[in-house]
Structure 1
Amino acid sequence: MALVRSSGVLGNPLSVDFWADADPFGGAVRALAERCPVLTNVRVDWKETPAAHVFTADLPGVRKGDAKVEVVDGDVLVISGQRAREKEEEEGGGKDERWHLVERSSGGFERRFRLPGGVRVDGVSASMEDGVLTVTVPKEEVAKKPQVKAVEIEG
């Protein structure tokens, strides 16, 4: 199956511009989304291993110093930060430049996860490499089964 670019009357129905033009509210929804301080498109995977809960977040374009990991009230993991907009995009670029499409989001982002019981929040660790943040929340060590030793009764 080949992908074909449509240039018909409606253009590409999946294009942001198509939906903006078709917006019955005159761009009000788009304007509200542009002013929204918190981005919700941060993708996070959460897996559980025998030793820990591991959260992996895609944060392309976010510097290590612009991301923050916190545990709130001992049971809520918060991944937040700021993705900066490019200076050229903010200033309009050069005199001979014109932006045609801006799809990469910028601004603040935040995701919250309620942690299950049995985790050690004092052992939470985080690392960031190539725009991927990995947060590890270790589980509490399971108490070993008590050893039962039979004691002979004398007498």
Structure 2
Amino acid sequence: VRKDEVKVELEEGNVLRISGEWKKEEEQTTDTWHRVERKRGRFARRFRLPENVNLEEIKCSLENGLLQITVPKKETSGQQQNVRTITIG
């Protein structure tokens, strides 16, 4: 898969969407025959990201057909945030 065949998007609700289309053409020729084979397909995948990720710092790279997506966590100040005590009735 090449870079221009893949799209990485962030949708509403912290959903990371990876989609694309791959195309492959193989050609073989001998003295007596010639063959061309074309393969293509589409793909799409969605991942819901947790609330504690830093959406502004998501990075992608594509090297040798391998897509790598880095989704860093938000930095916390060491304190527990959004903790609420619930009274047992």
CA distance in 2, matches of 1:139, 1:70: 18
Residue ranges of structure 1 left out of the alignment (5+ in a row): 1-61, 146-155
**Partner of 1:126 in structure 2?**
60
Deviation at 1:106, TM superposition (A): 2.3
Aligned residues: 78
For residues 11 and 46 of structure 2, the distance between their equivalents in structure 1, rounded to whole angstroms, comes to 10
Report the equivalent of 1:82.
Answer: 21
Q: Is 2:31 aligned against 1:97?
A: no
Quick check: 1:69 aligned with 2:3?
no
State the AA in 1 paired with 2:14.
D
Asked if structure 2 preserves the Cα contact closer than 8 Å seen for 1:82 and 1:107, the reply is: yes
Where does structure 2 lack aligned partners over 5 or more consecutive residues? 80-89
Q: 1: CA distance between counterparts of 2:57 and 2:67?
A: 17
More helix by share: 1
TM-score for both structures, normalised by structure 2: 0.70
The 5 A counterparts of 1:28-39 are none
Tell me the TM-score normalized by structure 1. Answer: 0.43
Identity of aligned residues (%): 43
Q: Higher strand fraction: Structure 1 or Structure 2?
A: 2
Whose Rg is larger? Answer: 1
CA contact (8 A) 1:121 1:137 kept: yes
Regions of 4+ moved over 4 Å: none
